């Protein structure tokens, strides 16, 4: 079973990113286990925690969980033309202590979204920068920018546009192919 972590860059209860992730998870084929991994409970990263051997228990839980994962799907909004702090913090927590990064060589893919037309383009590309440093091969094509996301969801949070579902299926298929190449 291939384990795929889904990290969501929004903490809001009715987050569009959470709804989008809930729609994407069932698109993975049999043999893949997508799982939303909580990041909102992580204290802001402070190296003193690790240096003094006093890291919050949430750090250990998160690091252990992420070490078990084979790949990572990021689903995020854009905050001020960049990634939300909660997502950057999760990257920082997982990359430390130095030399013990949970991210190394894990295939990654990014879906960005927004209620506007820009579709989280800035967040998508800003997120790619730390993923390069963290040595996470990242899906290049197709790129997933979901604009006007509120208009794509019905009252129950399901995507009502068949074209969007087909596109997201092609995105997941490409990600699965990439994961397979890295597992070989």
CA quadruple 23, 27, 33, 37: dihedral positive or negative?
negative
> Where does the pLDDT of residue 36 fall: very low under 50, low under 70, confident under 90, or very high at 90 and above?
very high
CATH 3.40.50.360 fits 2-183, yes or no: yes
Question: What residue ranges do the domains of the chain occupy?
Answer: 2-183
The pLDDT tens digits for 42-91 are 999 999 999 999 999 999 999 999 999 999 999 999 999 999 999 999 99
The pLDDT tens digits for 109-141 are 999 999 988 889 999 999 999 999 999 999 999
135 in Cβ contact with 103 (< 8 Å): yes
Task: Tell whether omega for the bond before 52 is within 30 degrees of 0, i.e. cis.
Answer: no
77 in Cβ contact with 121 (< 8 Å): no
Model pTM greater than 0.95? Answer: yes
Q: What is the distance between the alpha carbons of residues 103 and 125, in angstroms, rounded to a whole number?
A: 18
Rg of the chain on CA atoms, in Å? 16
Q: What is the distance between the alpha carbons of residues 165 and 114, in angstroms, rounded to a whole number?
A: 17
- Please give the pLDDT value at position 10: 96
Strand ranges (DSSP E) for 44-119? 71-76, 108-113
134 in Cβ contact with 101 (< 8 Å): yes
């Amino acid at each position: 079973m291939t384990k795929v972590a889904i990290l969501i860059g929004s903490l809001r209860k009715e987050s569009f990113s959470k709804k989008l992730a809930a729609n994407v998870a069932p698109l993975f084929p049999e043999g893949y286990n997508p799982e939303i991994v909580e990041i909102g409970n992580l204290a802001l990263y402070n190296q003193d925690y690790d240096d003094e051997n006093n890291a919050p228990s949430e750090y250990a839980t998160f690091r252990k969980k992420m070490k078990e994962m084979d790949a990572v799907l990021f689903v995020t909004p854009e905050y001020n033309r960049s990634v939300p702090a909660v997502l950057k913090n999760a990257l920082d927590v997982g990359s430390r202590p130095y030399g013990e990064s949970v991210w190394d060589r894990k295939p990654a893919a990014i879906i960005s979204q927004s209620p506007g037309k820009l579709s989280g383009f800035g967040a998508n590309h800003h997120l790619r920068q730390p993923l390069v440093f963290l040595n996470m091969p990242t899906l290049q094509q197709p790129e997933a920018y979901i604009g006007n996301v509120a208009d794509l969801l019905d009252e129950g949070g399901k995507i009502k546009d068949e074209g969007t579902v087909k596109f997201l299926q092609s995105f997941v298929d490409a990600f699965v192919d990439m994961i397979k190449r890295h597992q070989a």
